[in-house]
Structure 1
């Protein structure tokens, strides 16, 4: 025993030394947007007159030749929409000019450009103290990486920048910039954290801070709310800000790509992750801007539809990796004549040793579109009861009750004056995404639809939207009215019985339930429950009884469950799906993503099959099989793609007769262990 104890100590010391060695590892220099080989290749292309680099350089040089004197401020203030704006424009212009001049210095070896860049950095370094107002973090994030790129070039090219001035610049980064940026800001639209990650990576490289760099990489992969690339770009390429305007979308994409460019210089490949997720976001957006119709789980914005300047590097990177992005190529070709610096900084020597090969393409399990409007509407029988906006939905369902009759919810907003009480033997069918059921906030009720009788049976709700927000107008900012802000208490479909099997034969098909702070769908005590082709998103906030207790889909004490081809996404405080005290359930070919708790939460349940799902970007583990009293029995997770969740891919405690097979794991948590399968009867306390 004593020998084993000493062996353990020796192994522990070895591990600690390895960790310290990795943490002490220096960054490559120059090494922010480009490394030394990249810069040399860029210079060669320009000086040998190759296009488009020669023209881009001439344009850049013309910009740097313009008169410029830095005007530094101790306190830089930038409010929303630039009001107030004290020092913000001056700092932005200084950062751009400093980087431009440093590049021209490197290419020409003309010291007047080095002196101009150094003068700008030296002007700000001893003066800038802090940032303030609404856009403080955003402004710091926009300017930080440009300043660092300029500084990196000057420091490592014998430009004549004095050590005391380099120290003053680094002091500014670590006392004015980093304290503001280090906590990120994922509650804002995703372009904010994209920019913050970008600048933190650049600061980490310049200051040789490996832990800071690794922290930024981790946030890029696992950041909560809107903070990671998986929160910002969905599997179909749609972006978190797609319903806002295309200017902000391109800004966000450009900042995430800029961060990935810095990481790639340091040997970390963030471009190929998630099935080339960055490229998919750019391709989706470029296609829309070029006039191609894109499928969107929103109304994609027509605002600011001008092509931005961030396509060049993305196009060239993916082309070199053998990934074709035709819309990105067309966009890059279109903006190249005006891109200048972006054309030069896109140059890479891709035969360098640090460059890793692109990961293989993977097919996602969910290929079909989910939610209202996803299916082509069939002709309705003559006996259907049609309801126009303004007419009573409750009267129509009461009339159809018991006969299996259909109630057609015509296109438009149907404001419910009170909770809709659903009787047995009725189908409610809409005309797609335009058929919206909306509980009047003035009603004082919480839930949009409930069962009218405890033994409700043979009901179906199909092809319509249940809007859980307090307004059917989402506004132009997709982040302004989201359910995580918790200013209201609203539920979607809530069906409850007081005994198992008390309800039966419940069908939800191609419906969209969104923005409920309580559960989007809660069914308790039912046999034969089918959820097919549904889009349940942004449900499950932090209202009473509290966070982590309400979800997009919560099924309790149910049997014979089938959930398939559905989206269970973006619950701000809950899970995509939670199964409690359930039996005989199938979850198949669903997207379970971006949820603030676990992707899939299973407790005290039996005979549960989870197969061929995409489980990604959830803040905790992709799936948790939790132990509470006796644990679950017969849980099988088979052939799921489980990647880039904040915790483990699968986390399981005391689940008897359970198997986890053929799952594909990548990038879950902070370590190499992708599964935690324990026989211990561990009750999690968080």
Structure 2
């Protein structure tokens, strides 16, 4: 029988969280977890890719080894690697639901991806033209943008805010030619991006919260902001248990809070799905594309934490491996049972498996047959044109 968990009174939970400097929502019934602990000394570059990872990629590409060379060629053939690209910054980026209206939304996301792309190209080739292009793109936006508005502002800020720090970390910490406006860019991250995402979003679909926390943790690393880092990790821990189900959670998944707590509320939040199995996501029955956003952001956060010496992967190994395997199975064409989303799924997971597969299978040695098949089938993984890009290049069989 479905049951309601005993809940910590919200006022008490909020007070305790505030005293600890943690991120707000405490899931009812959730077990106690280690306190968030930002590194005493931040590793740079340290957002999604480390220097050791970049060195591995550079060696593999220069040796014409596969799949890295093919992935590199795919990246440099893309529009994002163009040295003639001209940024299109706006003071106010306005994004409605599904980017309608779209006033600067696509331009901002894609200029951020282009900055990251050319930063990667700089590191691999040591061609300073790529570094200078990344700097031009970042400088153009940091000189102009002041705000994000309309209903999709938090998600838009999260997507761009996840990508900008990756580029900035590589350029600031590896390019010897200098970046005079690095401080202005950091101010942009602190004043324009961080306030929009740091408190997360409790009741929207979970990919929002995970993407927002990815942005927070990346910005926190770049700014060396230990408080923001800890808040992101604390909120990430809560959201992971409210987004990916394990049978050990009980009869129903954990709710995210914010008035979504009872079994009926949680089932409604999970798109009406009332049968729960390991790996199911809160958005599985919505569509695989948005679920893929959530998986991608979750693995990016875990990867950055590992680079920073915290390593959240062990804490969430089962949730991530089951989530990847469950969705890979159906993305590969397995028959959909009648109990799952009414017997119909909207596929389209996207190029989002490389980071998690590398962490869990290659580094930790966990067997992941379906995820492996899908990952190999999709190589070289390109970009979703939002916040995920070139992860075969950066994370395929990367031991670092």
The normalised TM-score by structure 1 is: 0.46
Q: Distance in 2 between matches of 1:87 and 1:311?
A: 29
Q: Would you say the 8 A contact 2:244–2:280 is kept in 1?
A: yes
Q: Distance in 2 between matches of 1:318 and 1:203?
A: 25
**What secondary structure is seen at the aligned counterpart in 1 of 2:311?**
coil
Partner of 1:229: 240
Q: Distance in 2 between matches of 1:145 and 1:258?
A: 9
Q: Distance in 2 between matches of 1:243 and 1:300?
A: 9
Q: Would you say the 8 A contact 1:271–1:279 is kept in 2?
A: no
1:268 aligns with 2:285: no
Q: Would you say the 8 A contact 1:244–1:301 is kept in 2?
A: no
Q: Distance in 2 between matches of 1:55 and 1:136?
A: 35
Q: Would you say the 8 A contact 1:237–1:277 is kept in 2?
A: yes
| Max Rg structure | 1
> Does the C-alpha gap of structure 1 residues 185 and 348 become closer, same or farther in structure 2, counting only changes over 3 Å?
same
1:48-92 deviations in Å (ceiling 9; x for gaps)? 111000111111112213631001101000001211111111101
Q: Distance in 2 between matches of 1:307 and 1:334?
A: 13
Q: Distance in 2 between matches of 1:338 and 1:195?
A: 20
> Does the C-alpha gap of structure 1 residues 118 and 275 become closer, same or farther in structure 2, counting only changes over 3 Å?
closer
1:496-554 deviations in Å (ceiling 9; x for gaps)? xxxxxxxxxxxxxxxxxxxxxxxxxxxxxxxxxxxxxxxxxxxxxxxxxxxxxxxxxxx
User: Pick from 24, 29, 46: which aligns with 1:31?
Assistant: 46
Deviation at 1:26, TM superposition (A): 2.3
> Does the C-alpha gap of structure 1 residues 32 and 56 become closer, same or farther in structure 2, counting only changes over 3 Å?
same
Q: Would you say the 8 A contact 1:33–1:345 is kept in 2?
A: no
1:95 aligns with 2:106: no
Deviation at 1:347, TM superposition (A): 5.0
1:480-519 alignment, distance < 5 Å: none
> Does the C-alpha gap of structure 1 residues 26 and 110 become closer, same or farther in structure 2, counting only changes over 3 Å?
same
User: Pick from 356, 365, 370: which aligns with 1:322?
Assistant: 365
1:313 aligns with 2:324: no
Partner of 2:63: 48
Deviation at 1:161, TM superposition (A): 3.6
Partner of 1:106: 123
User: Pick from 67, 84, 89: which aligns with 2:101?
Assistant: 84
User: Pick from 193, 196, 207: which aligns with 2:223?
Assistant: 207
Q: List runs of 5+ in structure 1 lacking aligned partners.
A: 1-21, 223-227, 353-686
Q: Would you say the 8 A contact 1:312–1:336 is kept in 2?
A: no
Greater length-normalized contact order (CA 8 Å, ≥ 6 residues apart): 2
1:251 aligns with 2:267: no
**What secondary structure is seen at the aligned counterpart in 1 of 2:46?**
coil
Q: Distance in 1 between matches of 2:100 and 2:374?
A: 33
The normalised TM-score by structure 2 is: 0.77
**What secondary structure is seen at the aligned counterpart in 2 of 1:272?**
helix
Partner of 1:632: none
**What secondary structure is seen at the aligned counterpart in 2 of 1:345?**
helix
1:242 aligns with 2:257: no
Deviation at 1:308, TM superposition (A): 1.0
More strand, by proportion: 1
Partner of 1:192: 208
**What secondary structure is seen at the aligned counterpart in 2 of 1:337?**
coil
Q: Would you say the 8 A contact 2:38–2:229 is kept in 1?
A: no
Q: Would you say the 8 A contact 1:31–1:152 is kept in 2?
A: yes
RMSD between superposed Cα atoms in Å:
2.0
More helix, by proportion: 2
1:432-511 alignment, distance < 5 Å: none
Partner of 2:271: none
Q: Would you say the 8 A contact 2:337–2:343 is kept in 1?
A: no
1:332 aligns with 2:365: no
**What secondary structure is seen at the aligned counterpart in 2 of 1:91?**
helix
Q: Distance in 1 between matches of 2:324 and 2:128?
A: 38
User: Pick from 291, 294, 309: which aligns with 2:333?
Assistant: 291
